[in-house]
Structure 1
């Protein structure tokens, strides 16, 4: 569980193995007394993939208080994704990832509201890094560029904008081909009571 924060889409990769993870004291006791586990091919592949990732260099960087933050967000028909980065001399490097599946209601929102929600969710999730600092948000949804100005998109987005008045940020448009990580995360969220999102922060 500790290493999940370092691995992009840990929940997706590890999904076949969740049934072997006890969540209560009684379940842990039962597991300790149970027979050996025989993994299916799918479960074995998931285990081997996680093992391979963990034996390689972990890609997330420890946040540096002296470097600027940047967030890339995206929304798909089924969920949202975002990556928190910092700009290093050798380029933008990831600090954290997140993804979240839409509820049935959220799936019916207009695209602009879905993309706007991705921004709201990411900023609130990473409040401890962003509060009191200037940062940049990058999105491939052009209508959101004036989001943090006085131009009102619609009533829902306006309520969200007011919630974020304490933050200092600007929104910048980027082409979808440059927003690949957030795009991938938005298309790969999970709907699970304990693992409904991927949220990795070192």
Structure 2
């Protein structure tokens, strides 16, 4: 079998994998994190209609010298905030479960932990306020994927991290852009855009029950 045929076989196996899936905004989303003495690991999964949990993405990175001096609870909190911000494209504006293998974080990363967390964790907790998540504890013997990734992390690159959004923009650079007139015409023809413009220039209704379902994600991030 030549190299091209082998490459096609690998692609087919990935596409048809029962464990992997493309992200769907309609499915419940779960982020599972873990930290070791020298790395962070996480997995983004979704619960499908057949009650199977399928993976959308994996993530890991090596801790730098300063981060390795953090306490265990700080490393676990860092795993939560780093992973959530890394996958903000999937998570922002929707409710998701954030699973951690460190039970003390159940209080420190919620409003119950106000005044109890150290300065560093309190600052990270404030950064997580822009996300709508339910924090849950996942015992270590069940958190095997994120644990494995944290113990075999990808090396941190030298220099600044490249933003994934920028990478996507570079990949799609061959696409033609819209003119200002085309963009304005499309917005004027979109009933959702018209409603959003009305709410933003006047005021949002106090009760989300009066909104159509398609506007609820915007209501949650109206501020």
TM-score category by the smaller chain? Answer: 0.5 to 0.7
1:172 matches 2:136: yes
Q: Which has the larger radius of gyration?
A: 2
* Larger RCO of the pair (alpha carbons < 8 Å, separation 6+): 1
Candidates 79, 92, 100, aligned match of 1:139: 100
1:56 matches 2:17: no
Aligned structure 1 segments of 4 or more residues deviating by more than 3 angstroms: 50-55
Gaps of 5+ in 1: 1-49
Cα displacement (A) at 1:132: 0.8
Q: Distance in 1 between matches of 2:141 and 2:10?
A: 25
1:99 matches 2:63: no
Cα displacement (A) at 1:192: 5.3
**Residue number in structure 2 paired with 1:83:** 43
**Residue number in structure 2 paired with 1:68:** 28
Aligned pair count reads: 149
1:191 matches 2:142: no
**Residue number in structure 1 paired with 2:117:** 153
Cα distance, 1:123–1:56 mapped onto 2, change above 3 Å: same
CA RMSD of aligned residues (A): 2.4
The two structures have a TM-score, normalised by structure 2, of: 0.61
Cα displacement (A) at 1:52: 8.0
Q: Distance in 1 between matches of 2:9 and 2:138?
A: 33
Q: Distance in 1 between matches of 2:86 and 2:74?
A: 18
- Higher strand content, 1 or 2: 1
1:128 matches 2:89: yes
The two structures have a TM-score, normalised by structure 1, of: 0.67
Q: What secondary structure sits across from 1:66 in the alignment? A: coil
Q: What secondary structure sits across from 2:66 in the alignment? A: helix
